[in-house]
Structure 1
């Protein structure tokens, strides 16, 4: 029996806050890039769900990419992808869950 003992949920924004207005992000290319990085690192299983999120009194849609794996490198893959693409994503922070713990990393510094 194969056991994938790490569960990551990557929170991927579909909107950015530009001068108080939510603006849709062009995600196709950079999302494809993230999926390719996950595939290259032989992660066994993941799925993507679109959800409604609420943050700082704003409601918006985002993607949750849920990864099941034996590896702990998902966190670094996501962090590098997010930082490299934040000029497009335009976020002040990013979040992911690891085994039922929400981790939020500030990008405003």
Structure 2
């Protein structure tokens, strides 16, 4: 009979080990930061066409800017994953969060 994949791992003497808790402070913070970033991203996507339109772009330019934004966000993911594995997750995550926060804060000063 196969072992239950949801059971606690056992030490060599057969006694089950206590499973580590999933809902730690760090896990909750990562979830909250990811939620904030994904909400920001999803709020940004519908506003890009309006922003380009107000800057004087026609329908072709609006489509081009939206397409470039979307394709670049997908195209950069493999290199981001490679960088995360090579250089560590924390530093890249913090740098990415800082760039994202600065970009969002920059909208306050973008008058034209």
What's the TM-score bracket when you normalise by the shorter of the two chains?
0.3 to 0.5
Larger Rg belongs to: 2
Q: When the two structures are superposed, what TM-score results if normalisation uses the length of structure 1?
A: 0.32
Q: Which has the higher contact order (CA 8 A, sep 6+)?
A: 1
- Structure with bigger strand share is 1
- Structure with bigger helix share is 2
